[in-house]
Amino acid sequence: MYNLAFVYLMKGRQTKSPAHFREAARLFSTVLHKDPSKVEPYFYLGMLYENGLGVDQDHTTTLRYYKKAASLGYVKGYTKCGDLLYSGKGCGKRDKSEAIRCYQRAA
């Protein structure tokens, strides 16, 4: 199912079709419901929420998904957490020191 979700994500990127992004989000969520130890679906859901692709843009949800990906060791998750914390999106205020810690973990 993860592979199918990724296919819909790629189709969405090629066609800019909200329907493809919605289906990718639905499938990634289903994958995580069945196996919450999967890492990449958290990251991709964060990306979809960050950009409002197939779902409503929501930086709080974005940060939650990126943090989960990072907590499971996904380096890109640390980088994206750092970006959001540095900008203040998803957490209400900028947290440069925590952002730097995220970037250091990613490095």
Domain count, the chain: 1
pLDDT of residue 28: 98
* Predicted pLDDT at 92: 81
**Residue pLDDT, tens place only, 4-33:** 999 999 999 999 999 999 999 999 999 999
Lowest-confidence pick of 15-24, 70-79, 88-97: 88-97
> What is the structure's pLDDT at 11?
96
CATH of the domain at 30: 1.25.40.10
Calpha distance 8→21 (Å, rounded): 7
Please report the pLDDT score of residue 54 as a whole number.
Answer: 96
Range of the domain at 63: 2-106
Query: Which string of b and e fits 10-41 if b means at least 16 CB within 10 Å?
Result: ebbeeeeeeebbbbbbebbeebbeeeeeebbb
